[in-house]
Amino acid sequence: MAEKAKKKGNAIVETIKTIVYALLIAGVFRTLFFQPFWIPSGSMKETLLIGDFLFVNKMAYGYSYASCPSVMLPGVGINIDAEDICGMLKGDNTRLFGSQPERGDVVVFRHPVSGRDFIKRLVGLPGDRIQVTAGVLSINGEPVKLQPDGVFSETYAPQGPQRSRPRCANGPVGEGAVCEKIREIETFPDGNSHTILNIGNQGMDNTGVYTVPEGHFFFMGDNRDNSSDSRLPQSAGGVGFVPFENLIGRADRIMFSSAGRSMLFFWTWRGDRFFKAVE
C-alpha cells in the first residue's frame, strides 16, 4: 500500500515538473523568438483585419525589456507586465543584438505610456520630418506617391470580440448595409508600396511637421482615418514618438483569421488569409 502511494506521489511530482518545464520552454520561446498577436481593432485595415492571428518575429530587431512577455488573464486575476519581469533593463533605449527597422515594416510595440501592445506601420525613421497635408503623407518634404485603387467594402455591423463598428466614407449607413472606404496604393520614396484606406477629410489629415528624435520612430495605421498613432502626441492620448527599446517585433505573416466573435466559430474563418504575408 505504501509503495503504491509512493508511486502515485512520484507521478504527481513528475506531472508538475513536466508542466513547469513546458511553461519555461514556452516562456523562453515567446521571449526570444515569436509572440502571438491577435488583431483587436481595424486601425490596420485592409492590411490586417480584426480577427487576424499572427506571430511577431522578435528576432528582427534584437531584444530589450519589451521582449519579455506580458501575461494578462483578468478572469483568474493574473496581470504580469513585461516591465514587472524585465523593468530593470528599461531606460537606456538600447537593444541586445539590435537591428534597425526599415520604413514600411509593420511593427508591434509597447505604447510609451500605457504599456499596451500596438501594431502600426513604421513611416518615420530617426531624423525624418513627417507631415500630413490634406490626407497625404510627406517624408522630408516629399509627398508619397498615391495611386487610386478602387473601393474597400465591408458590412456595417459589429466586428470581432469588441463588437466595434467600422467608419464609412459613404456613411452614415444602416445596420447590414455596405460600408465603403477609399482605397489607395501608397508608395514610399524607397519604393515600398502598401494599401491604405481613407474616409474623407478628418482632423488628423492635416498636421504640423514632426521631426523624429534620435532613437525614436513614427508610426501610422493603414486605416488612416481610424487609427490612434504617432500623429497624436502622448499628452493627448496618442502614441507620439516610440523609443527603439519599445519595439517588440515585426509582423511577417498572418497564420489564421476569423471574422467572428471567437476563433472557435469555424463558419467565420477566412480561409483566404491563412499564411498570408503581411505587406
Fill in the amino acid letter for 40: P
230 catalytic residue (yes or no): no
Query: Which cell is 145 given?
Result: 506617391
Does 69 sit behind a cis peptide bond, omega within 30 degrees of 0 on the bond before it? no
97: left (phi over 0), alpha (psi -120 to 50) or beta: left
The question of whether 258 is a catalytic residue gets the answer no
- Which residues pair with residue 96 across a beta bridge? 63
Question: How far is Cα 198 from Cα 130, in angstroms, rounded to an integer?
Answer: 19
| Three-state DSSP state, 76 | helix
For residue 193, the surrounding DSSP H or E stretch is: strand 193-198
Structural Rg of the chain based on CA atoms: 22
| Grid cell at residue 223 | 486605416
Q: What is the DSSP letter of 21?
A: H
Contact 275, 253 (CB under 8 A): yes
Q: Whole-angstrom Cα distance, residue 46 to residue 91?
A: 35
- Please tell me which residue in 58, 67, 70, 120 is annotated as part of the active site: 120
Residues forming the active site: 43, 120
